Structure 1
């Protein structure tokens, strides 16, 4: 079985499980607010939740054990997008109006806070290790959001880290951390030993970093391939140029081509690192191959035009 097939099957199962469990997961919550949560969670690709399930099953865990952890991961991911859309002024999410445009900024922010807090509460009920993994992931994601340059910022002064080191830090905090947390929670759901949980976290983090690199690279490819087009817009362009090309200023076509090649090479490096981490996991049967092919297939989903989230 390919990872794409596993993902398609697992995504349907997760959607059904989430729909059935959501009321209890967020209890007590009035139906109006629960409906808003259900709306925010709907339509996601469930990649992080699928990774938690795959790692759990690969290590011999019961599928049931991964479900609440997968739901908590998806709550954190969805809540972060609600906040991001408001901060960035984005009006669309998953081909429909962003939450803040439908419910207003105040209610959207509070809804995101509710989802963060509930995910932590449910993980605390499972155990100290589970809540610690999720709390550390939320803190890291918040640190990444606070350091990411915003549109209109001067990239030379807006970041909290030196410009050449900012880009790899951001792709880890923005995306790698939650993929890593998902994989680690999957290992913990299977009752894995500490060293296996660490390897699972490294595996997920590298896969997530590759996923973010693929998304950023897709944004830059058009301008890099056509010298007549201006540099790709966005506040991450300068940090990426500074890190990969040693140049943080305006980019011409040659500089963008250099950036494209360097990012593609770095993407391949992180995929190989994810595959090496998969080899350190004591997976069972066909799951070993699924673990190894998952990062490349996840990146393939990005390259096939699926929007990042």
Structure 2
């Protein structure tokens, strides 16, 4: 029987609370080289957010019958990698705020922000290596893959706007590197926490990666395609839209400069339909991967969680 939306939301909320308590207890050991003053900075960076990646670690661990305590350090490592990547992103993009509060580089300064992100990457990797070779390798691969993707992004995003064929990474690769790989790694590490085999861990990665790609596509659809009438996109927003446009509708992507309102409206209409179909295709792939995981009392939740995660993003869940 499929798990209802309230059941998923209840699990997610309970898991977030469990992680908040677990993170607070684990933080001094996790970052044992930091004095209390600096530890509070890490605590601030990790605060807030949806905790989706950490919750996926717990979901896979719980579904596969693992010890709940085994998921906490792995979830913390994944959340550290996510938070550190956001520190770098905000600095590179010049974004002065994050989650309705100042970005880390705006409060700590660019130099300290970079060093803090590096510390979080390195510490998360160290702690996972201490847990085991497979955990360390999984996280190292995720960090390396994400970094390779970030390095290939254009220095000026607007360079992608009018380049024939679309300059930069293809959209499917972009959403995998940006979100899919860390969602997948979170699920893989949840399976590892439960002592799963390599084949089960691979199915768990597939489940998470496709869920993450659907989540990123829904985020793009919300931000870039679902704009209110009468509010044209800025050049920067069109630049973010360009990889999706070149992938789904290359004929329309070759827009005049600047694009007229009729052309922009048609582009949004075509993209809305194409991206909605792309989201559903990835959700189907995630469900198929869930069906390959060993049966358990959370089978229904595993099967329906990807849909609810995407729906929660679209609804603006905290």
Q: TM-score, normalized by length of structure 1?
A: 0.93
Task: For 1:215-234, list aligned pairs within 5 A.
Answer: 215-223=219-227, 226=229, 228-231=230-233, 233-234=237-238
The aligned counterpart of 1:292 is: 303
CA displacement, residues 211-259 of structure 1 (integer Å, 9 cap, x when unaligned): 0000000012334x63x44246242211111100123333521122111
Contact 1:149 1:235 in 2 (8 A): no
Q: Is 1:137 equivalent to 2:153 in the alignment?
A: no
The aligned counterpart of 1:72 is: 77
Q: Is 1:303 equivalent to 2:305 in the alignment?
A: no
CA displacement, residues 102-139 of structure 1 (integer Å, 9 cap, x when unaligned): 01000001000000000000001011110000000001
Match of residue 241, structure 2, among 226, 237, 255: 237
Taking the aligned partners of 2:268 and 2:155, their CA distance within structure 1 comes to 21
Aligned residues: 303
Gaps of 5+ in 1: none
What SS does the aligned partner of 1:172 have? helix
Match of residue 194, structure 1, among 182, 195, 198: 198
Distance 1:149 1:218, change over 3 A: farther
The aligned counterpart of 2:283 is: 271
Taking the aligned partners of 1:305 and 1:30, their CA distance within structure 2 comes to 36
The aligned counterpart of 1:18 is: 23
Distance 1:144 1:174, change over 3 A: same
Moved more, 245-254 or 268-277: 245-254
Distance 1:280 1:163, change over 3 A: farther
The CA deviation at 1:153 is 3.6
Runs of 4+ in 1 over 2 A off after TM superposition: 147-153, 156-159, 161-165, 220-223, 228-232, 247-251
Gaps of 5+ in 2: none
The aligned counterpart of 1:262 is: 274
Q: Is 1:211 equivalent to 2:229 in the alignment?
A: no
Contact 2:138 2:185 in 1 (8 A): yes
The CA deviation at 1:157 is 9.0
What SS does the aligned partner of 1:218 have? helix
Match of residue 34, structure 1, among 25, 30, 39: 39
RMSD: 2.0
Task: For 1:33-182, list aligned pairs within 5 A.
Answer: 33-155=38-160, 163=167, 166-182=170-186
Distance 1:149 1:240, change over 3 A: farther
Taking the aligned partners of 1:137 and 1:109, their CA distance within structure 2 comes to 19
Taking the aligned partners of 2:210 and 2:242, their CA distance within structure 1 comes to 23
Distance 1:158 1:103, change over 3 A: farther
Q: TM-score, normalized by length of structure 2?
A: 0.90
Distance 1:201 1:153, change over 3 A: same
Distance 1:103 1:147, change over 3 A: same
Distance 1:125 1:158, change over 3 A: farther
Taking the aligned partners of 2:47 and 2:195, their CA distance within structure 1 comes to 30
Contact 2:152 2:169 in 1 (8 A): no
What SS does the aligned partner of 1:115 have? helix
Taking the aligned partners of 1:137 and 1:235, their CA distance within structure 2 comes to 26
